[in-house]
Amino acid sequence: MMAEDLSAAVLMFIAQRSAENRILAALRRAGYDDITLAQARVAARIGPGGTRLTVLAEQAQVAKQTASFLVDQLERAGYVERTVDPTDARARLVRIAPRGAEAGHVARAEEARIEAEWTEHLGARRMKQLREALTLLREITDPYRPSGE
């Protein structure tokens, strides 16, 4: 199958999968070799103030039991912690722990390298257009984007 025959969605998936694999490899090289792709996908959805498990499960599109299992593993490895939700003492929030924050810095640095490579390959104008187009597409594809974006 020729690249022209692939749908835009498949082409975006290929680029996303490549970036995700590179980020995971960078984490492993930096010594964070105990985090799986499934765990990383859940951890990436944790908001700055913490996120409820039910929200993580919904956003990761997995059963609550699966999300709970992955969060348990992340907690044992020191990447996340569970805390009381200040808005509802009965609820718990999953927050990024210090080790998770350190791993996040490694992941963000690799993301920056990937974007720089893509910009070099596409050129600054095309990369800007790509980002603008994907940002516009997010309006109709991302039910989890923060309101106001």
What is the domain-level CATH number for residue 79?
1.10.10.10
Q: Per-residue pLDDT tens, the chain, 149 aa: give them.
A: 566 789 999 999 999 999 999 999 999 999 999 999 999 999 999 999 999 999 999 999 999 999 999 999 999 999 999 999 998 888 899 999 999 999 999 999 999 999 999 999 999 999 999 999 999 999 999 888 776 65
Number of domains in the chain: 1
User: What number of other Cβ atoms are within 10 A of residue 22's Cβ?
Assistant: 16
Q: What percent of the chain has pLDDT over 70?
A: 96
Residue 37 lies in a domain: yes
Residue 90 lies in a domain: yes
**How far is the CA of 21 from the CAs of 18, 38, 41, 44, 122, in angstroms?**
5, 12, 12, 14, 20
Residue 106 lies in a domain: yes
Residue 107 lies in a domain: yes
Give me the domain span that covers residue 101. 16-139
How distant is the alpha carbon of residue 98 from its chain centre? 17
Residue 145 lies in a domain: no
Specify the 3-state DSSP secondary structure of 20.
helix
Residue 50 lies in a domain: yes
What beta strand segments (E) does the chain contain? 80-85, 88-96
- Tell me what pLDDT residue 96 has: 98
